[in-house]
Amino acid sequence: MARSRAEWLAEGVEAGWCSEVFCGTHSTVPSSDVEIARWEDGDDPCTALVRVDGLWNNDTQEVSL
């Protein structure tokens, strides 16, 4: 049986492969302590992001896993 999207994402979060779901428009991108330190040192670290389509529910205006 296939895992649900919520199970799939939970596995990634628990394993440290990804962050919790966040809004790329209205939230700050989660950063690691190393990334924050690099920013503070004047570096410009990139953050790899992946968009997962189909999470936003236009009817409820919420994320639907």
Residue 5 scores a pLDDT above 90: no
Q: What is the C-alpha to C-alpha distance for residues 34 and 53, in angstroms, rounded to an integer?
A: 29
Residue 64 scores a pLDDT above 80: no
Q: How many angstroms from the chain centroid is the CA of residue 27?
A: 10
Q: What is the pTM of this model?
A: 0.65
Q: What is the C-alpha to C-alpha distance for residues 3 and 14, in angstroms, rounded to an integer?
A: 15
- What are the tens digits of pLDDT across the range 6-62? 888 889 999 999 888 888 888 888 888 999 999 999 999 888 888 887 777 778 877
Residues with Cβ within 8 Å of residue 57, at least 6 apart in sequence: 63, 64
